[in-house]
Amino acid sequence: MSNALTHILSNECPICHEGKVFKDKNIFLNFSLPKMNEYCSHCNYKFQKEPGYFFGAMYVNYGLTVAQGIATYCIAQFFFETNFDLRIIPIIAVVITLLTSFNLRFSRLAWIYMFKDYTS
């Protein structure tokens, strides 16, 4: 599992671990829309199998976003006197907005790794 997570965070092909899934090398600090390669440059593995292939990745993205929102709330609540201060909501919104591009890339990579062909 940790090995797969390392490959996902490195933006590597799930089959050969040589080619890149996204055209931009860094998936962390990139605020543009993601541009995926259609095929792996090394092993020619097709990343998008069919139209609508990444609809399921939206669920991964949603779960990741909710987890980040809860974690942000748990950290931010220590800086306020009351249990639920309304000033926490904009903080959560800013964190979620800043992590949107990373979440989109990470969820697509995780989806590709979950449904790769394990027989090859």
Q: Where are the domains of the chain?
A: 4-115
pTM: 0.81
Percent of the chain residues past pLDDT 70, beyond the cut: 89
pLDDT in tens, 31-42: 777 788 888 888
Query: How many angstroms separate the CA atoms of 85 and 87, rounded?
Result: 5
Q: Which residue has the higher pLDDT, 64 or 101?
A: 64
Which of 6, 1, 16 has its CA nearest to residue 47?
16
Provide the pLDDT confidence category of residue 118 given band limits of 50, 70 and 90.
Answer: low
